[in-house]
Amino acid sequence: MRAARPSLAKRRAARGGRAAAMFGAVKLTHPDRIYWSDAGVSKSDLAQYYEKVWKWMRPHVVGRVIAVVRCPEGADGQCFFQKHARLGIPTEFLHLVPEKGDKVIAVDDLAGIIALVQGGALEIHVRGSSIDDLGSADRLVFDLDPGPGMDFADVVAAAREVRARLKRVKLTSFVKTTGGKGLHVVAPIKPAPWEVAKAFCHTVALSMAKDDPARYLATATKARRHNRIFVDYLRNSREATAIAPYSSRARPGAPVALPVDWSELGSLKSASQYTVQNAMQRLSKLRNDPWASMARIKQALPRFK
């Protein structure tokens, strides 16, 4: 008996599918190439996802230095972190910014994001500064990274604790899932020197570790991570980056980092529950963008007490 012939879609995916597809001015080669085999998400699917979320994503990536995690053969293949313009990414759609004798990446529009997809970028990371003022921070990021033995509910409690401490010094903050295990608490600020911003974030992390050493850690020491959450302040330096809002992750299931409202934290099941495939279901039901007011907030960085 003759074996069943694979479907056309599977045969296309196996050999890279269509030769090319146009997304605006950007040509995607092998758009049917599978980027996440467990979820069946292709290069074209990822480009379509960014087209749909662009109006939410745009304020958080345009005008900022971008670094990417590139996985040309998909999330199951070899991946590498890239900070500079190199072969493999169509640079004609990117905004290249001179820095230290090299050129770092920025985007001006959706075409730039699609060009990154063409180059196999499965993660988009951004700095906490604008390309017009690379020497100053305008967003603080607290990355709450749970060690072994910590539940997601513990991460939620940590995010609320960071928010409360920032509120005491009159700083409004926002929260997003990371597409991984943790949450990011983000606070927009008036531009401040990086060394000042980092020192402030370090002070917050140290205060949490001092007040509750059984739960929080302000150092990255792996040997001490069990049953603790690392309050990672190290993303607050000039060349450090954090996963961009709405970016996909090179992790099983094609998860994405997604802004949420503080009131939603209690109903979240995990930091990776939103994916390339279901994020639009959430966004289509929103009455308001939970991060809509971020760009309007102009708050000075105080001394932490």
Give dist(CA 110, CA 116) in Å, integer: 10
Residue 224, pLDDT score: 86
pLDDT digits (tens, 9 = 90+) for 136-187: 999 999 999 999 999 999 999 999 999 999 999 999 999 999 999 999 999 9
Low-confidence ranges of the chain (pLDDT < 50): 1-16
Helix H or strand E encompassing 204: helix 194-211
> What confidence score (pLDDT) does residue 17 get?
61
Q: What separation, in Å, do the N-terminal and C-terminal C-alpha atoms of the chain show? A: 77
The structural domains of the chain, with segments of one domain joined by +, span 9-130, 136-296
Q: In this predicted structure, what is the pLDDT of residue 6?
A: 40
- Count CB neighbours of 81 within 10 A: 11
Equal fold, 9-130 vs 136-296: yes
Give me the residue label for tokens 């971020």.
Answer: 294
What's the CA gap between 144 and 150, in Å, rounded? 11
Residues 237-260 pLDDT 10s:
999 999 999 999 999 999 999 999
CATH homologous superfamily, domain 9-130: DNA primase, PRIM domain (3.90.920.10)
CATH of segment(s) 136-296: 3.90.920.10
Q: Are 235 and 164 in contact (CB under 8 A)?
A: no
162: left (phi over 0), alpha (psi -120 to 50) or beta: alpha
The model's pTM: 0.92
